[in-house]
Structure 1
Amino acid sequence: MEVCYILGVRKTKIFLKLITFFTLISIVGSISSCKNKQKKKVILADESVYSAENFTHLTVDSLEIADFFKTFEASDSIKNEVLEFYKRRNFQFAWINKDGLTHAAPDFYVQLQNFSDDFQDNSLKNHTLDSLLAEAESDSKSFLKQKDPMHNLELLLTSTFFKFADKAYTGTTKDPIDLEWFIPRKKKNYQILLDSLVSAKQTNRVQEPVNQYYIALKEKLRQYREIQKKGGFPKIITTQKPLNTGDRDSLVQSLNDYLVLTGDLKQRDTSSVFSDSLSVAIKRFQQRMGLKETGKINAATLSELNIPIEARIKQMMINMERLRWAPVELENNYLMVNIPEFKLHIFENKKLSWDMSVVVGKAATKTSIFRGDLSMVVLNPYWNVPTSIIQNEIMPKLQNGISYLSKNDMEVLSGNKVIDPSTVDWTKYANSIPPYNFRQRPGNKNSLGKIKFLFPNSYSIYLHDTPSKGLFNESARAFSHGCIRLSEPRKLALYLLRNNPNWSSEKVDEILEKDEENFIKLKPALPVYIVYFTTWVSSNGQLNFRKDIYGLDKKLSEEVFSEITAKKTL
């Protein structure tokens, strides 16, 4: 660089007399080459982030970074992140400038404290970081004169940030597939996040790489932590009789206290009378728990009321772990089935448009958690019977004769050809799977009802109608073999076809009157998310809880809380 400067700037008379015109041309070319090489050394992630005002004369080199990690415990991935971060900014400091700490340092430190308080997790606590920050804040001029502490604090902040980001936004290191979550996880870029943090103006809030559901649930977690600090929820003593409006009971005062804490009751009533406002508050509570909204205290409601706040907090933390795995940004339009909620939600332009009740798989035949693309509406579908149902349900019945098939409108196929079931000796397959396929004809007896919705996946799961409408009256609806039964399939079909001029509601109804299978392709396909959240914040800001019907919370709890315990600071 100095050679380029001498050749390009100090063109003295003596120098000009010693070279020819052609040599000058060569030198000019060399100058240009040197300047280009100089530019290539400056690798900036985003010049709009690293503007001139963000640069500092304070630097750290790769040897110092290597020495730092001899005493600071970190994974290889964290070490690589730190080195990459400083390479990208030409090894300039990020957290400290000529005036002392930038606003990014205390801002990040607050994030660390909040994380520790929210999740009761001290694994990121570092006493050296605490003391160096305190020293830098109390006397910045003196601190800037101390090279070793200053460099140590800079590298501590950066290394801790990447540890924090990995823990707070990536979550458990265990493969989510082992935890029965098959929605792909996208790798998050924490380099860009740190760029934003250290270069943002103090008034600008850096957006966390998490989705809106995570942010909303974290706010509720903080509220529950405050309730916990003040003693938690009052114990609701069971009453010997059902309470109705107008009744007096000592239980009423505890109910008032509880429901004020949860926000279901806006103002506490000091009397012991079971009032209309208390009944309305209980309905709100029951709705948030997925119970029948009776406004009365029954066994199911009492059970939910007496779940300790510690268990509720734990449940929120488990579901926040799942939300770390979910995409940060979802599509504008999509469907979402929440299995423990027994609901399908329809989102349009990123807002909830409407929802409907669904039936999901039993615990023995769980509905899988994954993402698909709904691409086909089928009117009057055949039901191709899965092998498991053939083996476990149909074959035992066929040992007593083939009448079961005709009663249920079923056909037997050899390859693609329908055969006469009476020509087969079914007793030969009493303990094995027969070399035949079974399907149920379209019609009112069909297990899929009159409509099904296909989104190709390796789990053989789809949405469909059902002739068993009575199941939707139940509050807990885990009854299927894994597929998802819809309470309003026609409404969904018309919604999906609303922009297709060839399929009016009259045309759909005309086809449904018949028993002929009809396929309608959707363009574009619509994303479908099958998820498992036992607690979440709804679009109206209400905190919901549901039962862990598949035991997946319990399984994830062992992973999350054993990790927190193992990483407590000594």
Structure 2
Amino acid sequence: MCIPRAELAAKLKAGAFALVLGGLAAGTGVAPAYAQVTAFKQAIAEAASVDDAVAAFYRENNYQPIWTGADTEGQARRAALLEALGNVSVHGLPDRSVEVARLTEQMKNARTTRDVGLVEVALSRALVDYARDVQTGLLVPSQIDDGMVREKPSVDGTTYLVGMRDEQPMSFIRSLTPASPQYRALMKEKLRLEALLQQGGWGPTVPNRKLEPGQSGADVVALRDRLIVMGYLQRSATRDYDLAMESAVQQFQSDHGLEVDGVAGKGTVAEINKSVLTRLKSVIVAMERERWLPTDRGERHVLVNQTDFTAKIIDHGNVTFETRSVIGKNQGDRRSPEFSDVMEHMVINPSWYVPRSIVTKEYLPQLKQNPNAAGHMEITDSRGRRVDRSAVDFTQFTTRSFPFAMRQPPSSRNALGLVKFMFPNKYNIYLHDTPAKNLFSREVRAYSHGCIRLQQPFDFAYALLARQTEDPKAFFHRVLNSGKETKVELDKKVPVHIIYRTAVVSAKGRAEYRRDVYGRDAKVWNALERAGVVLSGVQG
């Protein structure tokens, strides 16, 4: 719930007060000034002791007030904070109108020096809580899903209080909001969807059956009406699945990561029938996820959106290269994790050093049945020496006791293809080529063991190398043709952000949505709801 400015002004007037250290009740026989100061400091120290950041700020600030002093600056800070708290739901965060009312009442009823000290700390704690939520997110990703290993940006709470003390209050409050164009676009989409909800949404759904060009009738009319309300089709009285409708369906498919064939099959119809409410949840989740990302993503960076099955190179905010990708299978420990790291090098003609989990779960059972199974793999001991299969009884080993490693030498049949892109991390995730090219033609591309496969890895390599060699293609193929496993350092390291977004606003301003492949967004929404987030615009 947003608090109108007029109402907020009335609250501030009702709760207005000023701390006069010489005595709150002059002429009534109260303690001398030094006692008042001591009582004020003691109240602050006591109240702030439960929050290390707030306590540290007041120690460094010699317990001077920033909210309750007898000056106009304190009133301006209070006004800015209460307005921010009253309007926090625009960020998809829990409504804080009850907190605004409590703080206002606490200010209004302050009678003693101790009361004012407690108000001072209450306002500071409210600012720190608000700033953390709006700048770095309400939730801790790893507590929601073990694949969401992203570490949120960490900001010392004293930084927020220093900023409020030293800067113009309203400007400082506005600076806390993520500055990314994507965040602003998502906020705009949130407002649009909330307005649509109040108007009743997108109207009746479309019967869930295949509709295609050339058909006509009531079901086609239902599709027509839905596309018109969603903004994909001009108003029309046609009952036919004509060229205009086919074009509208193609645009919808493109915006939702579907196969662009102009046919409203069951998958397309299911996405067309998604409600405004469902899309609004995706947008609010995307806003929370945007708050988790580093503020500085890198002038050049790689962005992998798992739900979109793409990998992109972004230069100064613009997509300069894009390719399809395959992500981890939606199964057990194969799901690709979400995190950020820095790409340091690529390996041309890579060997595949098989992860132990794959060795013991997939290859060991085969070796027990037939020692010559998986003949394209080398088995090596702890010193890297090749093991003679015929001299080993594999049946004696368990998944825990198996003492060997496995390696697939460089070749066109190598599981990593002919190049891999490394950003060393504890999850052993990287981007790479693959011999399984057929998977890229599929609509849902979740098949790997967790790493990200690229459809156009050579072109990806050329784009990365273009900044350090005049002819990146010639350089790459010269190394490739050697057949030798070769590490190529990147002169300038490139940040990599592996994200998971079911709602994204394109550069053209149109919201695009994707399926919740791993069910992670549903978990994030449930956690937001438990934390107090509610949907605005929902009719009772």
TM-score, scaled relative to structure 1: 0.75
> Does the alignment pair 1:487 with 2:460?
no
Superposed counterparts of 1:402-551, under 5 Å? 402-406=371-375, 409-414=376-381, 415-429=383-397, 433-501=401-469, 504-551=472-519
Q: Deviation of residue 109 (structure 1)?
A: 4.2
Contact 1:315–1:535, Cα closer than 8 Å, also in 2: yes
Q: Residue in 1 aligned with 2:50?
A: 76
- Alpha-carbon shift at residue 538 of structure 1 (Å): 3.0
Contact 2:210 2:265 in 1 (8 A): no
Task: Confirm or deny: 8 A CA contact 1:95 1:157 kept in the other structure.
Answer: no
Q: Is the 8 A contact 2:285 2:524 kept in 1?
A: yes
CA shift in 2, pair 1:410/1:155, >3 Å: closer
- In structure 1, distance between residues paired with 2:243 and 2:345: 48
- SS state at 2:175 partner: coil
Question: Residue by residue, what CA displacement relative to the aligned partner does 1:348-391 show, whole Å, maximum 9, x if unpaired?
Answer: 23432221111111122111222222122111111111112222
Q: Distance in 1 between matches of 2:138 and 2:129?
A: 12
Cα shift at 1:241: 5.3
Residue 85 of structure 2: aligned partner: 112
Q: Scaled by the length of structure 2, what TM-score is found? A: 0.79
Matching residue's letter, 2:251: R
Seen in structure 2, the aligned counterparts of structure 1 residues 205 and 428 have a Cα distance that, compared at 3 Å, is closer
- TM-superposed CA distance for 1:466, in Å, is 0.4
- Of residues 347-356 and 118-127 in structure 1, the stretch that sits farther from structure 2 once superposed is 118-127
Residue in structure 2 matching 1:375, options 330, 344, 350: 344
Deviation string 1:160-179 (CA, Å, 9 cap, x unpaired) is 33332233334335463663
Give 2:281's match in structure 1, choosing from 306, 314, 322.
314
- How big is the shift at 1:99? 6.7
Partner of residue 359, structure 2: 390
Tell me the CA shift for residue 156 of structure 1.
6.2
**Root mean square deviation of aligned Cα:** 3.9
Aligned positions, number: 497
Deviations 1:168-206 (A, max 9, x none): 334335463663333332223555556666743879983
**Contact persistence 2:144–2:527 (CA under 8 A):** no
Taking a change above 3 Å as real, the CA distance of residues 200 and 255 of structure 1, as seen in their structure-2 partners, is farther
**Residue in structure 1 matched with residue 326 of structure 2 by the alignment:** 359
Q: Hey, what's the Cα distance between the residues in 2 that align with 1:100 and 1:439?
A: 67
Residue type matched to 2:304 in 1? V
Partner SS state of residue 417, structure 1:
coil
1:122 paired with 2:91, answer no
Q: Does 1:160 align with 2:126?
A: yes
Cα gap change, 1:507 to 1:321, in 2 (>3 Å): closer
SS across alignment from 2:407: strand
Contact 2:378 2:407 in 1 (8 A): yes
Given the superposition, is the C-alpha separation of residues 80 and 101 from structure 1 closer, same or farther in structure 2, using an over 3 Å criterion?
closer
Cα distance in 1, alignment partners of residues 255 and 320 from structure 2: 19
Residue 142 of structure 2 is aligned to residue 169 of structure 1: no
Aligned-partner residue type, residue 415 of structure 2: S
Percent identical: 25
Distance, in Å, in 2 between the alignment partners of 1:97 and 1:250 is 71
How far residue 480 of structure 1 moved from its aligned partner, in angstroms, is 0.5
Three-state SS of the structure 2 residue aligned to 1:378 is: strand
Q: Which amino acid aligns with 2:187?
A: K
**Residue of structure 2 in register with 1:26 after alignment:** none
Aligned twin of 1:328: 295
Unpaired stretches in structure 1, ≥5 consecutive residues: 1-55, 137-142
- Specify which of 307, 314, 317 is matched with residue 347 of structure 1: 314
Which structure is larger by alpha-carbon Rg, 1 or 2?
1
Deviation at 1:227, TM superposition (A): 0.9
Cα deviation digits, residues 49-108 of structure 1 (max 9, x gap):
xxxxxxx996676745876999x9x9922x853883696497355488767996665554
Displacement, 1:432? 5.6
Task: Give the structure 1 partner of residue 168 of structure 2.
Answer: 200
Cα distance change, pair 253–190 in 1 and its aligned pair in 2 (3 A): farther
Confirm or deny: 8 A CA contact 1:369 1:530 kept in the other structure.
yes
Deviation at 1:491, TM superposition (A): 0.8
Residue 200 of structure 2, aligned match among 221, 231, 236: 231
Report the Cα distance in structure 2 between the residues aligned to 1:361 and 1:492, rounded to whole angstroms. 20
Letter in 2 for 1:244: P
Shift of residue 483 of structure 1? 1.1
